[in-house]
Amino acid sequence: MTVSLLVCTTCRAGQPVIDGQPVPGARLFAALERLGAPEGVRILPVECLSACNSGSAIALSGPGRWSYIYGGMSDADAAEILTGAAAYAAADDGIVPWRDRIAIFRKRSIARIPSIG
Amino acid sequence: MTVSLLVCTTCRAGQPVIDGQPVPGARLFAALERLGAPEGVRILPVECLSACNSGSAIALSGPGRWSYIYGGMSDADAAEILTGAAAYAAADDGIVPWRDRIAIFRKRSIARIPSIG
């Protein structure tokens, strides 16, 4: 089963917008695409996860799984984010055991939502 | 179609836990149940939406819709939350036009997640 790594590509992360330069969310998306999605994960751009005060924001989601939203991400976190996404893909219910969860997901969680029927 | 109003019943909302007294999230859930769900909405208890720094937290979710997470809610907001949930139920994609969105949903949004296939 494929899970989705949603990346808010409009996220300014509290920084001023500079003409001709991509916003932090777009830079994060580009960095993730450069590294490439691990097996079982697809990387999808999203316009605004409404977590503007906690950007850059990403979310992990998949059928029958808890969805997770994380904030405070930047392109420097791209490799670690993909490691965390792979662990999420490997967990049937989306709940990665705490000891196996990457540090930035432990520390920068914004919220989670259960899958409902 | 029925949408779900998820209520974090374990939410302490930053308040100390007092023996024998329900936590703020449990009080909010009880207040919502007392008023009763509007048509097309079911009220579901959830253990931890992982938005502990922004509690009490609730979420609105439904098949094929954007999910929304809100924080800073209390039992005093129960009636208004149900009004907002009814508007969410009436919006096919879950996106309630800004002008029709209740004030506490405008001001206390934590994040949203798109429905993905």
The Cα B92–Cα B66 span in angstroms is 10
8 Å CB contact of A67 and B69: no
Which parts of B1-117 are beta strand (E)? Answer: 3-8, 41-46, 58-61, 67-70, 109-113
Element (H, E) at A34: helix A24-35
**Mean pLDDT within A38-65:** 92
| Per-domain boundaries in chain B | 3-113
Torsion, Cα A38 B115 A107 A80, to 10 degrees, reads 10
Element (H, E) at A32: helix A24-35
DSSP B3-31: EEEEEETT--TTPPP-TTS--HHHHHHHH
The answer, yes or no, to whether residue B44 has pLDDT greater than 60, is yes
**What residues contact B117, with CB distance under 8 A and at least 6 apart?**
none
pLDDT at A77: 97
C-beta atoms surrounding B66 within 10 Å: 19
pLDDT at A117: 55
Q: Which residue has the tokens 């979420």?
A: B59
The Cα B14–Cα A45 span in angstroms is 34
pLDDT tens figures, B96-113: 999 999 999 999 999 999
Nearest to B41 by CA among B107, B91, B86, B11: B86
> Chain A: residue nearest B53 by CA?
A110
Confidence of residue A55 (pLDDT cuts 50, 70, 90): confident
Lowest mean pLDDT segment, chosen from A83-92, B49-58, B74-83: B49-58
8 Å CB contact of A116 and B54: no
How many residue pairs bridge chain A and chain B with CB atoms within 8 Å of each other?
65
> Chain A: residue nearest B106 by CA?
A50
Percentage of residues of chain B with pLDDT beyond 70: 99
pLDDT tens figures, A59-107: 999 988 999 999 999 999 999 999 999 999 999 999 999 999 999 999 9
The Cα B81–Cα B115 span in angstroms is 22
B 11-40: CB under 8 A from A: none
B50 part of contact set with chain A, CB < 8 Å: yes
Class of domain B3-113: alpha beta
The answer, yes or no, to whether residue B117 has pLDDT greater than 70, is no
Cα of B85 to nearest chain A Cα, Å:
16
B51 part of contact set with chain A, CB < 8 Å: yes
B44 part of contact set with chain A, CB < 8 Å: yes
For the question of whether the overall pTM of this predicted structure is more than 0.90, the answer is yes
**Mean pLDDT within B63-76:** 94
B57 part of contact set with chain A, CB < 8 Å: yes
